Amino acid sequence: MFRRRGPARETVEERRPESHALTLDGVGRTYRRGALVALHPVDLVVPRGRFLAVMGPSGSGKSTLLQCAAGLDRPTSGTVRIEGVALDGLKEARLTGLRRERVGFVFQTHNLVPSLSVAENVALPLLLGAAADPHGPATRALAAVGLADRADDRPAELSGGQQQRVAIARALVTDPAVVFADEPTGALDPETAHDVLSLLRQAVDHDGHTVVMVTHDPAAAAWCDEAVFLAQGRLVAALHRPDAPRVRDVLRRIGRAAVAA
């Protein structure tokens, strides 16, 4: 849910951060000792079981928002909470553990380890966390993305779409609070992109996961429950139940405003 800053009265749900998968409260990011503002203070609430698209022109702050929200970068101002846990109060080791256990990642380039089998790639977050039984959850995660029969293969033996499905299985294997997906369909053809987005949608609808997806593609955003739009480091618009034509219209308006400025 996109919250505009101001005196509006909070709902009961908004006063209970533990009911949210992700909360950004005044989160901003500057560089060069404040001379470059990549992200102006942002308020954003993502309830559990929600599929959110983050959109905007190149350089609008999408990647900065994702990196701060996922704990990959520390914001200059404000607080990020994952399931009510404030990241700014965590030491680096605890933050690393939280990312491994409660956050899933899906990237455009898959980021699979070529020397490991498909099953080992999926189990990697559990192995790094010294889980007692990494095999069982990895097997179930692979089955959920339709690749149980490729467990012993190496990533190079799979197509690009299959590799992205492995990446989704790896992101979900720890039953994370939030899955962050950064342009997960950017390198895929439309049919394969459809399959990947269908899996993410299923993870939300059937398994109650929360997905925050950065995308430039209006067709991808149409799979989401909500889309928020950034321009010049600010959250400027939001759409509930977005469809591709309305997303394109918002992006055109943002583009025209940027040119006029």
CATH number of the domain to which 135 belongs: 3.40.50.300
Question: Domain for residue 5, yes or no?
Answer: no
Cβ atoms of residues 21 and 103 within 8 Å: no
Cβ atoms of residues 25 and 81 within 8 Å: yes
pTM of the model: 0.89
Question: Domain for residue 81, yes or no?
Answer: no
Question: Domain for residue 177, yes or no?
Answer: yes
Question: Domain for residue 204, yes or no?
Answer: yes
Question: Domain for residue 80, yes or no?
Answer: no
E strands in the chain: 20-31, 36-47, 51-55, 77-82, 85-86, 103-107, 178-182, 211-214, 226-231, 234-240
Grouped pLDDT means (10 residues each) for the chain, 261 residues: 40 49 97 89 96 95 95 95 92 91 90 94 85 83 94 95 95 95 92 95 94 96 97 95 96 77 52
> Residue 185 is part of which domain span?
48-72+91-260
Question: Domain for residue 63, yes or no?
Answer: yes
* pLDDT at site 258: 61
Question: Domain for residue 213, yes or no?
Answer: yes
* pLDDT at site 217: 95
Question: Domain for residue 84, yes or no?
Answer: no
Count the domains in the chain. Answer: 1
